[in-house]
Amino acid sequence: MCGICCSVSFSVENFSKDLKEDLLYRLSRRGPDSSKQLVKSSVGYQCLFSGHVLHLRGVLTAQPVEDERGDVFLWNGEVFSGIKFEAGENDTQIMFNYLSSCKNESDILSLFSEVQGPWSFIYYQASSHHLWFGRDFFGRRSLLWHFSDLGRSFCLSSVGAQISGEVNQWQEVPASGIFRIDLKSTSISKSLVLKLYPWKSIPGENVIKECVHSLIQISANLPTFVSVVANEAKLYLKKPVVPLNTMMPQAPLAIPCINIAGVLPTRETLQRLLTDGRMKEVVQQFIDVLSVSVKRRVLCLPRDEKLTPSEALKACDRKANVAILFSGGIDSMVIAALADHHVPLDEPIDLLNVAFRTKEKTVLTGFNKKRKKQKSHCEIPSEESSKNDDDSPDKQFCVPDRVTGRVGLKELQAANPARIWNFVEINVSLEELQELRRTQICHLVQPLDTVLDDSIGCAVWFASRGVGWLVTQDGVRSYQSAAKVVLTGIGADEQLAGYSRHRVRFQTHGMEGLNEEIEMELGRISSRNLGRDDRVIGDHGKEARFPFLDENVVSFLNSLPVWKKADLTLPRGIGEKLILRLAAVELGLTTCALLPKRAMQFGSRIAKMEKNNEKASDKCGRLQVISLEDLSIEKEIEV
């Protein structure tokens, strides 16, 4: 994980040796282990490169990196597969070495077509004056662009620095392919032209038609002085996943003997489905490919290998290197169970469970009554959250995700009693939410601006921060997760028909409509979710990793007909994400396998904190930004 930035100016009066304070501050939070700047100037333009590194693998390599030809590379990514590299090597240097050996455009595109893993990059070729940049196919790493001064300057950055009162400042670079700008030509013509090298899935596909569609979408959001065109050579990147299988069943599906109208689904229901040998085989294949995905994401990080035998035995004193955004729902439970297979046994795993103070005074069903006897430990230690509290903190933070999280914790502990599972209770008051949204989170969620972006962005920011309370056999203590890697279950609902809108589409348009909905969900995940979540989690100097969006996992699921992934003729809590529920049963998980989908904003109760009459798609006024300069003025006034 890194914060990368390139600021380009085409007029001498705009040349600068430093980034603006706001932008530099937010980039440095993403990469706390190394910060470096580099200026490259030529006739008519200047590039200011800024790199901020979170060190996770190989030798710490400061960015930007430069070779003897004057080429410059900024990399925010992880190479998990696709190209040759050794386990102990640094992928920034490996990628730069490969790029340096590329002889033409086609070689560069072949390289990025082969890389498996999340990435965004900026690459400057000094001899040709070309600037290349882009994001991976799913957009798992954030990259924003900002065009200003009628084309006299532009900026690429992992995160933006919004300015109070200005609109449309930063936009996400579309994950439509890789872009190239001829800086020398731009400095002469004063016309900023972006050349697109799009993703293409199969050789027979009409790349021109697909590219034209992408160009129209991208151009609609750009200033009039910026244009996007297809590359003249009609070159493209090869999509890293197979196309979605849209095959329809030849005969109506046989509905298993399940009482849909009356009795709720049970574990026996799922076990009955697993008596089908072909289904059981597909489920095991899914477990295998997802397990490899998790393994890649929990082992590619530095560990302290110099512990003495006595220190190694003290697992309670070991820090967790891996954390999971954990609700106790099926996505996070399966990820936790598979992580348990691969993380060294003497290493704890942090389960990050976030709750927002609820106004409800009744204890939710399933609340662990034994905890009533414990101290009021759920509250985050802060002045705001300790004032005017008449109700028990346990009650105030006993939201649905806390209840299912505790149940899930017990199930994981039963599955592997030798593992230390750190269930981190992260509790957020209204005052803390409003303060940190205003000063930090709004900058990260932007340029997204809906009520849904606000709710999820805030919930993920507090959860991934990992500051809360830990309940152990020795009592309750404050805790802050030191894990640099945060696993999240995003991608499961999109691929496995987990949202209620999937069921609505199926009921109105059948399996064909359901396939279209799944294809659309995966196609727009870069712009709806992943850039935002990368910026939010990265703000803590941590890296988001998405096991369900591994290229091999997506290809496997895309290869299956839809009814093997989800059967929406079955009731809620079993039909959606069916293959994942069956996988949970095979892994020995029981309760979570039957939990219906519950969105994070409702499970954590953040959606109940402020306004209850908003639509998720409404523009959110709470995401108005405040700059560092404005903030310092406010503090001076307060003093």
pLDDT of 34 above 80: yes
Q: What is the rounded CA–CA span in Å between residue 508 and residue 504? A: 6
pLDDT at 365: 44
Residue 297: pLDDT over 50: yes
The contacts of residue 350 (CB under 8 Å, 6+ apart) are 320, 322, 323, 324, 422, 424, 466, 481, 483
Candidates 2, 5, 155, 378; catalytic one:
2
Average pLDDT over residues 27-56: 94
Mean pLDDT of the chain: 86
Active site residue 6: no
Neighbours of 468 (CB within 10 A): 29
Q: Is 420 helix (H, G, I), strand (E, B) or coil?
A: coil
In 3D, which of 594, 580, 599 has the Cα closest to residue 334? 580
Given this model, what pLDDT does residue 464 score? Answer: 97
Domains of the chain: 2-238 (3.60.20.10), 270-302+317-623 (3.40.50.620)
pLDDT band at 202 (very low <50, low <70, confident <90, very high): low
DSSP secondary structure of 136-172: -TT--S--EEEEEGGGTEEEEESS----TT--S--EE
Express each pLDDT in 11-25 by its tens digit: 887 788 888 899 999
Give every CB contact of residue 571 below 8 A, 6+ residues apart in sequence: 258, 260, 264, 265
421/626: higher pLDDT: 421
| pLDDT 10s digits, 454-483 | 999 999 999 999 999 998 878 889 999 999
| pLDDT band at residue 377 using 50, 70 and 90 as cut-offs | very low
Which residues 6+ apart lie within 8 Å of 413 measured at CB? 419, 421
